[in-house]
Amino acid sequence: MFSRDGYHSPTVSTIRVGPGEAVARLASARKAGYVVSNGYGRLKGQTIRVGHMGDHTEADLERVLAALDAPGFATASTTR
């Protein structure tokens, strides 16, 4: 996740991805039916924004994260 203490948003989360991965990960999630977006400004191409306004469950979030973690991508726990 990409936020500092005191700057967390209740409506959107930003996830940092590896160099050149944003477009492919976005395409994977969109193909699975999710609406996700690229980062803004200097973070464009380096981050993915996932909205979570409304009535979403933890299971919903796990499904969108799985769609972003398409085959061939390392998980966050293996890249830190």
Domain count, the chain: 1
Q: What is the pTM of this model?
A: 0.70
Which structural domain, as residue segments, surrounds residue 17?
12-71
What tokens appear for 72 in the block? 């061939």
Q: How confident is the model at residue 10 (pLDDT cuts 50, 70, 90)?
A: confident
List the alpha helices (DSSP H) in 2-75.
22-31, 58-68
CA nearest to 44, candidates 16, 73, 80: 16
Q: What is the tens place of the pLDDT at every residue in 12-54?
A: 888 888 888 888 888 888 888 888 899 989 989 998 998 888 8
Q: What is the CATH number of the domain that holds 47?
A: 3.90.1150.10
